[in-house]
Structure 1
Amino acid sequence: MPKPEDQVEISFLCQCLENAMATELTPYEHDVLRMRLGLDSSESKTVREIVELSGGMVSMADVRGAERRAFKKLQSPASVHTHYLLAYLDFGEHAEIQY
């Protein structure tokens, strides 16, 4: 069980990630990343599962491309939120995150 202060940091990180995703990503990229990372259900989805959930409206290449674009946007130095997300890298090395 994480310590209370670690839980607060994790909560801030989640909020920072949500803000970055809402600001930097298209709705489609946002949805793909949430499913791939398991941000809604704490269980990540495979690319194939996302295609199946879409009813075949998107291809596996579409999902992979959206995921790649989303990560590139979130890592961009031009992103307003990059420095906030990078601040948590050091924290993550010292904390054990459990879901």
Structure 2
Amino acid sequence: TITPDRGKEFAQHSKITNALGGIPFYFPAPHHPWERGTNENTNGLLREYFPKSMDITDTPDNVIQEKVLELNKRPRKCLNWKTPYEVYYEKVLHLT
């Protein structure tokens, strides 16, 4: 399933569901962030690089991509201490 924020950018979620072969969307109840734990945790990790007060419109794409790669190579408890990169690409990284 896909569990997005409740923003208007997902108003046409059915098109995404169809394009991805029927993967369903789950919309949590308003004001229930605990129903989207991984999403909330990832937002917190992003805030380490991009604080809420920061306007990222002038941030170069390569800087954003660099930070995304850093986060994807960070071990996560919910992935049994594997990185998202390892899980997605089925590769073992040797991080020390």
Structure ranking higher in helix proportion: 1
TM-score, length basis structure 2: 0.34
Q: Which has the higher contact order (CA 8 A, sep 6+)?
A: 1
Q: From the CA coordinates, give the structure whose radius of gyration is larger.
A: 2
TM-score, length basis structure 1: 0.33
